[in-house]
Structure 1
């Protein structure tokens, strides 16, 4: 893409960010006609200040707009740069298993090493260290794909299971960082690999990643359908066992179905699915982390609040938040910071920008990347700054600066 004119590069990244010309123009404070002329090359971009503003709006490295290699970033809080995106994309585009069908399989890493690496990646994600995770993902994907292609027999099933988990990790972090197409691709791969791993529960939790990616891409109806369909297949009881693993996966399918329904505005379905998840959590008996779900009674309440926000009922979300007990503090940092971001949105919906800002600050102390790296958090911060009378508090101004959100 380096050989393209800068206007074409602007058009490309605007499309990747799912912005219309009008929305892009509004965020820049320009006219739609101005954007159209820039993208067609009729109007030159000869001011660096404007180019930097465009890059910030599109959330890309300015070097990409200039047709140069982006500068690599090394600090631990870095979210993801376009070099890392391309490396993850290249890793997802590998087809080691198909190559091994025709030729000798690549030398696979030892399975004990892979198990440790996958566990470390899950913990890195659940502690909200997204920059560290995205930098390690390309190698982890390549290693897991090589293991899946290189082992046979029972080892092949375990290797497939590990690869399915790596795809899920990749999907989750890519979705949070705004790379929705890649998130969907990784989740779809996770579902396919789970079938080869012969683990219905792994396929079930992979389904939630597919649903999340579909919702992020603006397709909540198929997300709702797939989550509910697989939940019905995996429901405890009948011919299925009633184990903590199954309860956790089943409960998360219902929760993600509820989130999809909230995007549609289907309050009755939201309540029904949350009720089913609440029953599963009661049977489980407490917050646990089977299949890396963090499922349990507290997580159900967190999703109840999140669904209220998606339905536009910020007041209800705040009420749910205020009744959550001390069990919340035992959850992993990503879950807590994610919830605090949801509640920041809830407070903003009811016009309480002071408490909205406080929620962002609390979330930032728990898992900075959850607040500083997610596009939705940037939107909340922009809203807070716009609606704050006078100069914002120093703590908010400092966080906004770290996030790259202009005051």
Structure 2
């Protein structure tokens, strides 16, 4: 390693402040950006990084870890004695992840078997999406289905006889990658997530299917945004390119194209909220709502969950990312959670509600929302970094009841041994 290479934050001698600076730089953030997200002045961040002030208390450390998307608490604070690593923002790794990874890396030999019909693969994908939205253990089910779906979709593309058949097969293959991206997200293999996102985008573009291209852009934009502020511009550019493609034909577009257009607008709002651009964030949210009101009342997009029922959930996320405590609670209180037909999306909304209540200092209500999230879809909260952060912080609460509730949740979601 060259002498001017940045230090590795895993090395024990690296102080807490240095680790903060390393991770901040890796995320492409300025001190001003980090300070804004933490509710401090840039001078405070400088004092932390230079060691002018000591290591903050646990709640502040957890907020720093959340913003910097640090996977393990020990990666930020160092290995204190012989304490075990505490996972934070990436899930523990699903038992079926190795099989899914192997399927994504496999290239079956030509002629090994005949590809299933497009009608068969379409029905199989429909069943997989229904299972994802309806099952509390959705990752287990999808992880079991994905290896076969990935293999069948690949065979369909390779054995297509005409250009038209190939485009149709590519659209189906892109959709299997979309399903895979939901499975691999927030698991301890970021490179696999990017591989899936890129393959989905390539297959979508080659399919020339407007709806599929829109979904690929929606998922890829999320992957960029989750990589940190240094990648917000890429997320926005993907969304804007897709909207420029979709919006001219919106008045006469099929329902699925209308829905992905609305979902993309909502994503633009969330990215703007992460930038603390209040007017732009709510403007995009309102434009997304305009699309949702043109859809049938019970419409539900099988990939993005977009529809009228989810707009309240998007409102909570926008307010939370803007760090608007009162507004986030107002949005959380008025959102109709039970109207969201997808169990994992409903659980994710409960987690966003918990973030809103926590931001407003309503910690008991936040824990109650997390308990509801666990009841709706245990595998969603198990892999959600925000939920794990709140639970971990509350296990150290000075209030016995909160500490006990958080400890039970920590056991339930696999953070602590029973």
TM, length-normalised to structure 1: 0.76
Q: What is aligned with 1:372?
A: 382
Looking at structure 1, the residues matched to 345 and 196 of structure 2 have their Cα atoms a distance apart, in angstroms, of 21
- Match in the other structure for 1:133: 142
Match of residue 211 from structure 2 = 201
Alignment map for 1:154-303 (pairs within 5 Å): 154-177=164-187, 179-218=189-228, 219-235=231-247, 237=249, 241-290=252-301, 292-303=303-314
Confirm or deny that 1:119 pairs with 2:126: yes
Shift of 1:107: 3.1
Q: Secondary structure at the match of 1:112?
A: helix
Q: Is the Cα–Cα contact under 8 Å of residues 329 and 360 in structure 2 kept in the other structure?
A: no
1:211 is displaced (CA, Å) by 0.5
**How has the CA–CA distance of structure 1 residues 267 and 236 changed in structure 2, closer, same or farther, with 3 Å as cutoff?**
same
**CA distance in structure 1 between the partners assigned to 2:398 and 2:188 by the alignment:** 27
Deviation of 1:370 after TM superposition, in Å, equals 1.0
Q: For the Cα contact (< 8 Å) 1:347–1:355, is it kept in 2? A: yes
User: How far has the Cα of 1:25 moved from its partner?
Assistant: 11
Question: Does residue 27 of structure 1 match 2:27?
Answer: no
Aligned partner of 1:149 in structure 2 is 158
Does the CA contact (< 8 Å) of 1:314 and 1:345 recur in 2?
no
Give the direction of change, closer, same or farther, for the CA distance of 1:136–1:301 in structure 2 (3 Å limit). same
Contact 2:268 2:284 (8 Å CA) reproduced: yes
Secondary structure of 1:379's counterpart equals helix
* Distance in 2 of aligned mates of 1:388 and 1:242: 55
The structure with higher relative contact order (CA 8 Å, sep 6+) is 2
Q: Identify if the C-alpha distance between structure 1 residues 113 and 19 changes in structure 2 by more than 3 Å, giving closer, same or farther.
A: farther
Aligned with 1:286: secondary structure? coil
Is the CA contact 1:255–1:277 (under 8 Å) kept in the aligned structure 2? yes
Contact 2:88 2:388 in 1 (8 A): no
2:365 aligned partner: 355
User: What does 1:319-398 align with in structure 2 at a 5 Å threshold?
Assistant: 319-325=330-336, 328-392=338-402, 395-398=405-408
Please give the per-residue CA displacement for 1:328-381, whole angstroms capped at 9, x wherever unaligned: 435221221110001111111122110010000111111111112323321121
Q: 1:163 to 1:198 in 2, by over 3 A?
A: same
The 8 Å contact of residues 356 and 384 in structure 1, kept in 2 or not, is answered as no
Gap change, CA 1:398 and 1:291, over 3 Å in 2? closer
Contact 1:175 1:216 in 2 (8 A): no
Greater shift, 273-282 or 145-154, is seen at 145-154
Query: How many angstroms does 1:263 deviate by?
Result: 2.0
Is the contact made by 2:129 and 2:302 (CA closer than 8 Å) also made in structure 1? no
- Give the superposition deviation at 1:292: 3.3
CA contact (8 A) 2:350 2:373 kept: yes
Unaligned runs of 5+ in 1: 1-7, 36-46, 62-78
Q: Does 2:97 match 1:85?
A: yes
Give the structure-2-normalised TM-score: 0.74
Contact 1:106 1:150 in 2 (8 A): no
Distance 1:105 1:29 in 2: 46
Contact 1:245 1:291 in 2 (8 A): no
Name the CA shift for 1:59/1:202 in 2 (closer, same or farther; >3 Å). Answer: closer
- Root-mean-square deviation (Å): 3.4
Q: 1:55 to 1:106 in 2, by over 3 A?
A: farther
Alignment partner of 2:240: what SS? Answer: helix
Tell me the equivalent position of 1:39.
Answer: none
State whether residues 255 and 295 of structure 2, in contact with CA within 8 Å, keep that contact through their aligned partners in structure 1: yes
Q: Tell me, which stretches of 5 or more residues in structure 2 are unaligned?
A: 1-7, 12-18, 27-48, 50-64
Question: Is contact 2:160–2:169 with CA below 8 Å preserved after alignment?
Answer: yes
Q: Contact 2:378 / 2:413 at 8 angstroms: preserved in 1?
A: no
> Which structure has greater helix proportion?
1
- Alignment partner of 2:252: what SS? coil
